């Protein structure tokens, strides 16, 4: 059994091409402790058959029917897509995901709750604030922003929206660079985090899997007081540091989470500055950033000055970083 807490803050996403496999995963997801599921209707290869799915409903469901430009697989006409969404609303789904450009065309019905969403699979637009403000004028219960994070400026825009959100909002960056924002969104009040029930389905870039929360990331315990730490590198996805640190935080009852930060070479100062909005309390530093980390620090131990490289950055109360080189000291010892 996993030592990490349960999945009550996770919206597990199910996307399969066959109704039979959808039904199997809907049943299995509940058996494995999931209590909130998003059904990606756009993954189905044939016409949606609600009568085949609904007998397997054992927890709240979100109906999502995504277009290709929004990262989905719906191959048909837009009028037909909206008709299927309306059918989902009246058939027994608890939630429906409506893109911001069509949300006003589909009226609220009964007790079905509405997610107003905006997706951009290529960039984080410079006018993201304006897009979000218009979304807030629409009739939603939760607002979702999922944009591709490519730069430090993208991270700053995403964090700004999540931190200042006046209504329940899930805002995050897609792709490897955006992974930390999926978790920090919970720190700043997002009602849930998205995760793939089946990690092999390739639902969205950078989307974690439910298994990640059972083995590595204790998302249930994230709150406003949670400290954020992480490992900086490029690549960084292979690192075992999140597993090690998060298990130690759990064992020592430390309110913290340790995340992977993919930082492209040459962008360390900008990325560290962008994540000051969190703020991140400290970083482990791996290739190719050890020299840049030493240069970035306001204060360093002697081993950093001797080697010209740092593998640890610790935030001081004044916002500057202290740099250490535990590789150097370990080798000497």
Please, what are the domains in the chain? 10-219 (3.20.20.70), 227-332 (3.40.50.10860)
Q: Once rounded to an integer, what is the mean pLDDT over residues 106-128? A: 98
The residues that are catalytic are 119, 144
Nearest residue to 198 via CA among 29, 54, 48: 29
Contact 72, 40 (CB under 8 A): yes
pLDDT, averaged across the chain: 95
Q: What is the DSSP letter of 139?
A: S
Report residue 9: phi and psi, to 5°. -105, 15
Q: How open is the CA angle 105-196-44, to the nearest 5 degrees?
A: 55
Taking residues 220-248, report their average pLDDT: 95
Q: Determine what percent of the chain is predicted with pLDDT higher than 70.
A: 98
User: In this predicted model, what pLDDT tens digit does every residue of 7-32 receive, in sequence order?
Assistant: 889 999 999 999 999 999 999 999 99
What is the rounded average pLDDT of the residues 206-232? Answer: 94
pLDDT tens digits for 57-80? 999 999 999 999 999 999 999 999
pLDDT at 1 over 50: no
Burial of 233 from C-beta contacts in 10 A (0-12 / 13-18 / 19+): buried
pTM: 0.95
pLDDT the model gives residue 53: 96
Q: Which residues of 144-173 are buried (b: 16+ CB within 10 A; e: fewer)?
A: bbbbbbbbbebbbbbbebbeebeeebbbbb
Q: For residue 287, is pLDDT > 80? A: yes
């Amino acid at each position: 059994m996993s030592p990490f807490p349960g999945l009550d803050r996770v919206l597990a996403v199910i996307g399969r091409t066959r109704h039979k496999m959808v039904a199997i995963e809907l049943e299995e997801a509940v058996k494995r402790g999931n209590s909130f599921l998003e059904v990606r209707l756009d993954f189905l290869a044939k016409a949606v058959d609600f009568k085949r799915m609904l007998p397997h409903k054992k927890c709240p469901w979100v109906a999502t029917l995504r277009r290709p430009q929004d990262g989905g697989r719906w191959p048909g006409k837009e009028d037909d897509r909206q008709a299927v969404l309306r059918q989902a609303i009246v058939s027994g789904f608890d939630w429906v995901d409506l893109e911001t450009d069509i949300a006003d065309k589909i009226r609220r019905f009964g007790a079905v709750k509405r997610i107003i969403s905006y997706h951009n699979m290529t960039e984080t637009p410079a006018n993201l604030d304006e897009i979000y403000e218009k979304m807030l004028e629409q009739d939603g219960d939760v607002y979702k922003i999922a944009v591709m994070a490519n730069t430090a400026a993208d991270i700053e825009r995403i964090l700004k929206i999540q931190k200042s959100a006046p209504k329940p909002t899930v805002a995050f960056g897609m792709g490897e660079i955006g992974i930390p924002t999926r978790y920090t969104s919970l720190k700043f009040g997002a009602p849930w985090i998205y995760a793939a029930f089946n990690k092999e389905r390739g639902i969205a870039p950078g989307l974690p899997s439910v298994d990640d929360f059972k083995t590595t990331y204790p998302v249930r315990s994230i709150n406003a007081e949670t400290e954020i730490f992480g490992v900086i590198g490029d690549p960084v996805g292979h690192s075992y540091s999140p597993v090690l640190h998060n298990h130690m935080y759990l064992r020592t009852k430390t309110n913290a989470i340790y995340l992977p930060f993919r930082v492209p070479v040459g962008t360390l100062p900008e990325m560290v500055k962008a994540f000051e909005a969190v703020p991140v309390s400290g970083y482990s530093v791996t290739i190719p950033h050890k020299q840049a980390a030493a240069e970035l620090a306001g204060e360093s131990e002697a081993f950093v000055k001797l080697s010209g490289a740092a593998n640890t950055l610790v935030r001081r109360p004044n916002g500057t970083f202290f740099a250490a080189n535990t590789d150097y000291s370990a080798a000497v010892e």
